[in-house]
Amino acid sequence: MKVNKSELVGSLATKADMPKASAERFLDALVEEITSQLQNGNDVALTGFGTFKTSDRKAREGVNPKTGEKIQIPAMTVPKFSAGKALKEAVR
């Protein structure tokens, strides 16, 4: 099952005993702040939950699956998430 943003906001609002609008603003602010910290090259560690960080990928050659044509994939920075111990144990 996949949980979308509105379902997550509803669940947060219920658990935190707050209006849905406040829960949505909080979730938006959290995502925005994590994104901003990653853009600035910082890792974001939420103890027990996990760590958001970035990783550099080298440029490489790939293949277009439709045409079989070789293409150049540029170097880029990508986000990564490493689950914390408590999260790993909770989902086992």
The pLDDT of residue 34 = 97
The whole-number pLDDT of residue 56 equals 95
Residues of the chain with CATH 4.10.520.10: 43-92
Q: Which CATH number fits domain 43-92: 3.90.470.20, 1.10.10.10, 3.40.50.1580, 4.10.520.10?
A: 4.10.520.10
Residue 80: predicted pLDDT:
97
Q: Which residue has the tokens 């609002």?
A: 13
Cα 9 from Cα 28, distance rounded (Å): 10
What tens-digit pLDDT sequence spans the chain (92 residues)?
A: 999 999 999 999 999 999 999 999 999 999 999 999 999 999 999 999 999 999 999 999 999 999 999 999 999 999 999 999 999 999 99
Q: Where are the beta strands (DSSP E) in 1-92?
A: 44-46, 50-57, 60-63, 70-73, 76-83
